[in-house]
Amino acid sequence: MEEKDIIRIWKKGSDKLNNEKPITMETIEALVKSRSGKVTGRIRWDLYFSLACYLAGLFLTSYTSALYSSHVYLKWILPAMALVLILLLIQNIQLLIYYHKLRILDVSLRDKVTRIIRYFRGGFSIWQLVWPVGMIFLVFSVTLLIDYQEGFYRINHPFEFVAVLIVMYMLMYFPMRYTRSVNLYDLENCIKNLDEQEYTSIEKIPRRHR
């Protein structure tokens, strides 16, 4: 049952009872479970998408490394990029494994939401920092493949090139950071709902979560 359906049923019941009976703990738990489930569902797709990007980046980096094996700089840079992508891939897989463990964990709802919050503040926050790096490696490998000319490659405007990479990183990281802040606030609000035995939705994100 969706969150909006539960809210509609609850409001309808409240009207019939003239607001004499408060919302039950079972309904609060159902609402919290629905909200936390939506948050973790978004995590899953983010991790699977990054997994696919890392694999593609690793393949292209390895392939272009062979193409540019005689290049004075790229013959060292590309293998290093491949190594970084392998490390990012391992981290991504570890986060996916822990994510699936969280889903089947047999603990109280409050404990599960608390663990999800720790997950957001721990490994997932680190993943958000490094994920744009993997995407930049993927784009760079595609560029090398497109511009391949018998092992020759030259960046004509290095400062502009670095500036573009920085902008790319910021455009990928900061929207994810904001989304993470919203999700964290939502999850913390879920804990508050369970503790106070009342249901409240997200209305305003405090400055400390932005």
Token pair in block for residue 136: 């930049």
The yes-or-no verdict on residue 11 having pLDDT over 70 is: no
Tell me if residue 44 falls in helix, strand or coil.
helix
For residue 54, the model assigns a pLDDT of: 94
Q: pTM here?
A: 0.74
Sign of the dihedral defined by the CA atoms of residues 82, 137, 148, 159, in that order: negative
- The angle at the Cα of 146, spanning 145 to 147, to the nearest 5 degrees, equals 95
Express each pLDDT in 51-70 by its tens digit.
999 999 999 999 988 888 88
Q: Residue range 63-85: average pLDDT?
A: 89
For residue 210, the model assigns a pLDDT of: 45
Residue 87 to residues 55, 79, 91, 113, 127: CA-CA distances in angstroms?
A: 11, 13, 6, 28, 11
Distance CA 107, CA 189 (A): 19
For residue 171, the model assigns a pLDDT of: 92
Distance CA 188, CA 49 (A): 26
Distance CA 173, CA 178 (A): 9
pLDDT band at residue 25, thresholds of 50, 70 and 90?
confident
Distance CA 136, CA 107 (A): 39
Express each pLDDT in 175-190 by its tens digit.
888 888 888 888 888 8
Orientation angle between helical segments 109-121 and 25-67, nearest 10 degrees: 30
Q: Residue range 98-119: average pLDDT?
A: 83
pLDDT band at residue 4, thresholds of 50, 70 and 90?
low
